Amino acid sequence: MSRLVLTKGAAPATPATNKSTVYVDTNDRRLKQLDDNGVLSDLTNAETANIVTNGGFTIQQRVAAASTPIPSVSLTSRAGQVADRWAVTVGNVTTPSWAQIDTSAAPETGLLNRYYGKITQATNAAKFILSQFVINAEMAHLRGQKVRVSCKLKQFVGSNANYRLGLLQLTASGTVDVCPTFISAIGGASVEPTWGTNLVAITPDASPVGENGTISGVALTIASTAAWVRSSCVFTVPTDCKNLVVVIYRDTIGAASDAVGIAEVQLTQGTELIDWIPYPPAVELLRCQRFFCKSFPQAVVPAASLSEATAGSGINAISGKTTTAVLAANFRIQFPVVMWKVPTMTLFTPTAAGAQVWRFSGAAAAAFTATAIRANSTTDNGCVVTATGDAANAIGDLVGIHYTADAEFLT
């Protein structure tokens, strides 16, 4: 029998070009590799949880997958929602477009995930910020810990440009799980955004060095190329922070037609380099639905007037009768998951404009005369809808309505 016995010594120095050092770290008893860039990889921890939700831009419930102007995009807030959990803020009066790209039919060299997001400038040259707030319940265990933030970028249109990868904290002075005004100014070329009240950028750790980027100031600067390249760096999370915000933003002013792809965003505990680890799509959907869910099919953007063939019939009930009016009472909307907080509800009429319950069977199809969410019925797991029918309504008619439940961080 043979044994390999290792004796504790000083931490290894960064090896020479084209060499790597493999050793056991006596602090945590893990086998690690140190490469010639100073990047440390954990060889015993093949996978870890990604704290970022929907880092692969797989789930997109609010906007169409095809390239489309980002709705409600703002100069100061995170109102421009794109793929679930992600929002875009811009630095000029412009309407950038967002597209969810599916690579299943035409795989992209360098990508491990099926999807990526693409931001295309429009109207005017501008900077942008792509961001995700992480709720306290999902990041509290990271306080005082080192984390690695990573993403992949590819320049599709326009000259190669500098982008910044950063991590913000909502300081102890802020209100936990409440999003303040996001920025007061995005800044000019090579100028840092002025973050909102109690939002502070965490400075990346100097060691290990950033992967495929340069640590400068409070973020990692990434020079985009025409190929997918992973970039990452390590941050130490303050012990008193209340929320974290992952940000990817353009550092140079982009031309009106510039387009960049963003993929495989991760926030993982520890300093190790972690290859992309997607959650199963069904699990990722449930993670997203804690912040936004709907009665529409996943690929259908919520709206009134959509046909049954396109969007189905929504949440359904059978109408009953009271002594004075025909009433479709006590629709029980049960959310697919328990949401992280009580959401804001919006109702949509199937097949017609408005926010009324719609009658599908019996007399001629028609909207009901009054629809409302029952007072005090909305919780983190559902609500009750009541609706009063018209004179043509009869007992036993099939009726339905669509909904969205929104508990996302917005400013």
Other Cβ atoms less than 10 A from the Cβ of 345: the count is 16
Closest CA to 83 of 112, 49, 118, 109: 118
Spatial separation of the C-alpha atoms in residues 345 and 373, rounded to whole Å? 8
What pLDDT was estimated at residue 175?
Answer: 95
Residue 390 has which token pair?
Answer: 């018209």
**Nearest-angstrom CA–CA distance, 190 and 127:** 10
Residue-level pLDDT at 44: 63
CB 143 within 8 A of CB 238: yes
Find where tokens 């015993």 sit: 44
Residue 66 half-sphere exposure toward CB, CA atoms < 13 A = 2
Residue type, position 146, single letter:
K
Q: At a CB cut-off of 8 Å and minimum separation 6, what does 103 contact?
A: 111, 114, 115, 116
- Over the chain (411 residues), the average pLDDT of each successive run of 10 is 81 90 76 82 71 98 94 92 96 86 96 97 87 97 97 95 97 93 92 96 94 96 97 97 97 89 97 91 97 97 96 88 60 95 97 92 83 95 90 82 94 74
What are the C-alpha distances in Å from 87 to residues 255, 281, 357?
A: 21, 20, 31
pTM for the model = 0.89
Residues 6+ apart with CB under 8 A from 336: 286, 289, 293
Alpha helices in 271-392 (DSSP H): 281-289, 308-311
C-alpha R_g of the chain: 25
Q: Taking the CB of residue 44, how many other CB atoms lie within 10 A of it?
A: 12
Cis upstream peptide for 96 (omega within 30°): no
Contacts of 65 (CB under 8 A, 6+ apart): 99, 100, 102, 299
Both tokens of 8, joined, read 């504790």
Please, are residues 131 and 262 in contact by the beta-carbon 8 Å criterion?
no
- Looking at domain 68-289, its CATH architecture is Sandwich (2.60)
Between CA 197 and CA 172 the distance in angstroms is: 11
Cα 408 versus chain centre, distance: 10
| b/e code 123-143 from CB counts within 10 Å (16+ = b) | ebbbbbbbbbbbbeebbeebb
Q: Backbone phi, then psi, for 357, in 5-degree steps?
A: -60, 145
- The shares of helix, strand and coil residues in the chain, as percent rounded to the nearest 5, are 5, 40, 55
Domain limits, CATH 2.60.120.260, in the chain: 68-289
